[in-house]
Amino acid sequence: NKALLTALKGKETITADGRKIKLYANMGNVSDLAAVLQNDAEGIGLFRSEFLYLEKDRFPTEEEQFQIYKNVAETMAGKRVIIRTLDIGADKQADYFQLEKEENPAMGYRAIRICLEQPEIFKTQLRAIFRASAYGNISIMYPMIISKEEIKKIRQIVEEVKADLEELGVPYGKVEQGIMIETPAAAVISDELAKEVDFFSIGTNDLTQYTLAIDRQNAKLDVFYDAHHEAVLRLIEMTVANAHKAGIWAGICGELGADTELTERFVNMGIDELSVAPGCILPIRKIVREMDRA
């Protein structure tokens, strides 16, 4: 909508009573960057890095990844870019990973589980991200977390990567590290997890799938799929409250974050960030700016 664009571009995403929301964009490919800029995103809240792996028939090298992360960070010119580490497996398959066929891929060997079991793949990506962090405002988030132990293991690997870079004299910036809350386990223990990370980003696509036990790929189940199910909304609310208790921020990067019927409810819950498809940014900015909780 052209009129919306002219009226709301360059404006803050803030309620009439003064509460500011970070309104970021989701990105699944470098080609999305034009739309991200065009729609005036305040940052990138979910950079789905899998595409780098899916478009190739071999692992992308550290250098290839570095160039892309650096380019995105520089293009965003100081605005935050949250890179989600590799989330492959389940519906996203690449032959060269040689993943075994599984009975229940959504509940299988995927995402952070692959990264922790095959740390060389993980380290290559982390090195590329940390190197790129010298060229902009980069944050990292980790998908499919279920426990504090995973965060401890991640931290150990990150420390090794940073030590390597320091030894080589390669510069890197300050990088905030967060986790996705997209399993019911993570939401339920979000009070504990909040003490270990800099931010939460709620992945409602998977959180809904696992909470309702409804396969997000199975169209036959659409009739049972209630995107506004109270169980999911309560888990979101609880996660935000636990984040704030620990002094960190929480956002939503799943599709539900773009649901304009819920924008007011999310703002009232205290959500700090919404990361949505570029085309959803300005309509949400409009709703937030019209909200007055005073």
Part of the chain binding ligand PEP (CB under 6 A), chosen from 151-159, 168-176, 201-209, 228-236? 201-209
- For residues 78 to 97, the per-residue mask of contacts with ligand PEP, x marking binding by CB under 6 A and - elsewhere, is ---------x----------
Instruction: Please state the closest distance from residue 16 (CB atom) to ligand PEP, in A.
Output: 29
Task: List the catalytic residue out of 52, 82, 235, 253.
Answer: 253
The DSSP H or E segment spanning 133 is none
Cβ proximity to ligand PEP, 182 vs 237, nearer residue: 182
Part of the chain binding ligand PEP (CB under 6 A), chosen from 36-44, 113-121, 199-207, 237-245? 199-207
Max alpha carbon distance in the chain (Å)? 56
| DSSP class per residue in 73-119 | HHHTTTSEEEEEP---BTTB--GGG-PPP-S-GGGSS-THHHHHHSH
Q: Does the footprint of Mg ion cover residue 206 (CB under 5 A)? A: yes
Instruction: Please state the closest distance from residue 180 (CB atom) to ligand PEP, in A.
Output: 7
Among ligand PEP, Mg ion, none, partner that 254 touches (CB below 5 to 8 angstroms by kind):
ligand PEP
Q: 27 φ, ψ to 5°?
A: -135, 130
* Among 240, 284, 293, 241, residue whose Cα is nearest residue 261: 284
Total binding residues toward Mg ion, as defined by CB under 5 A: 3
Number of Cβ atoms within 10 Å of the Cβ of 160: 14
Is the distance from CB of 122 to CB of 60 less than 8 angstroms? no
Instruction: Please state the closest distance from residue 86 (CB atom) to ligand PEP, in A.
Output: 11
Tell me if 182 is assigned to a ligand binding site.
yes
- For residue 280, indicate whether it is catalytic: no
- For residues 34 to 73, the per-residue mask of contacts with ligand PEP, x marking binding by CB under 6 A and - elsewhere, is ------------x-x-------------------------
Angstrom distance (rounded) from CA 140 to CA 49: 11
Strand ranges inside 120-198, DSSP E: 137-142, 176-181
Tell me if 206 is assigned to a ligand binding site.
yes
* Among 26, 91, 87, 102, residue whose Cα is nearest residue 53: 87
Angstrom CA distances, 189 to 140, 183, 184, stand at 21, 10, 9
AA letter at 250: A
Which positions lie near Mg ion, rule CB under 5 A?
A: 182, 203, 206
Which positions lie near ligand PEP, rule CB under 6 A?
A: 46, 48, 87, 182, 203-206, 253-254
Catalytically active residues are 253
| Residue stretches of the annotated binding site | 48, 84, 182, 205-206, 216
